[in-house]
Amino acid sequence: MKMIVLSVVVGMMLLTVTVGTVAGDGSLMSAMGCNCPHSGPATEYLNSPFNDDYSYPSFLMGADAERKSHSKSVRSDRSHTIFETAIPIRPTNSQYENPSIITYIDELKNISDPNVVIVDVCSPAKYEVGHIPGAINLHWELFRADNGVLTSLETVTGLLGEHGISPDNGVIVYSDTCQTCGGLSASSYIFWMLEYIGHEKVSVLDGGFEAWNATYGCTKNVTTRSPTTYYSANVMADRFADTEWVQNNLNRTTVQIVDARTTEDYKAGNIEGAINIEYEELFRDGYRLKGADDLEFLISPVVIKRLDKSKDTAVYCW
């Protein structure tokens, strides 16, 4: 199955259980997830002591990174009540077709490769009050144009280079689960963008910031990386679709369109012929991806009769 548009985490789910490619949206939607232009006040998710004494290896800041300490304040606790009870890090069956696009929190903690860059794509305000140790901040909305589509390739590569990311780096992306300010869709969007420009080693942290924070805590220490000379993109054209592409391919029997919104939104209006896969159905507790067996069943003909793995697939939301 060749996937042309990545929207929310439905595209991520299809990648984990199928062999294919992914792409982002054009003017079909407001770049994955809700269309909230601003993150909520940072004080909304603060309530416990910070863990600035967290012991983590220097590689988390990258070989050329600089760490700047801020005064200790409070620990960012953006967890929801579902995190009050321990949730298994992995589902019962995590033998996905493409397991490399998912990173679990225990894997992240034990990574010892100095070439790996951890990227927090939340707003600067949220990053400031708490993030994973060693993570740099690169707000996902910087990569969106005013109309919600992906910004120019020049802007994309320029921002990556300015933040010390090169095509040779492994990248682990995460966001929090605040649905009104992007949620996990934000990290999925950056994942897709990096895939689109040909970045070979990129994954998303399962469960996002809350999954890490509930187990290991967070820090307020800022990490930056020295700019790279230039980020050279290797654009994968088959990972991108815009409105024109959808219009030209809407009636092709080899193409299918997937609507990742809620059933209520889908019924209120959708692209003609689109198949509805509600994104929240993909998660177990804690906004962590369901196991391979559950996802296989979810997209099987038993549940979704019209979904065909052999077709090129475009996924959209708002």
| CATH architecture assigned to 42-225 | 3-Layer(aba) Sandwich (3.40)
The C-alpha atoms of residue 50 and residue 78 are separated, in whole angstroms, by 13
Q: Where are the domains of the chain?
A: 3-33+236-316, 42-225
Q: Which two tokens stand for residue 235?
A: 């654009």
Among residues of the chain, what percentage have pLDDT more than 90? 64
Give the mean pLDDT of 240-255. Answer: 93
Instruction: Decide if pLDDT at 228 tops 90.
Output: no
CATH number for 3-33+236-316: choose from 3.40.50.300, 3.40.228.10, 3.10.20.30, 3.40.250.10. Answer: 3.40.250.10
Phi, psi for 24 (deg, rounded to 5)? -100, -170
pLDDT of residue 31: 29
pLDDT of residue 12: 56
Threshold 0.85, pTM exceeds:
no
Instruction: Decide if pLDDT at 55 tops 80.
Output: no
Closest among 74, 104, 107 to 87, alpha carbons compared? 104
Instruction: Decide if pLDDT at 83 tops 50.
Output: no
Please check whether the two domains, 3-33+236-316 and 42-225, share a CATH topology: yes
User: H/E element holding 103?
Assistant: strand 102-103
Q: Mean pLDDT, the chain, as a whole number?
A: 80
Selected residue with higher pLDDT from 18 and 198 = 198
Which whole-number Å values give the CA distances from 112 to 57, 63, 106, in the listed order?
Answer: 8, 12, 12
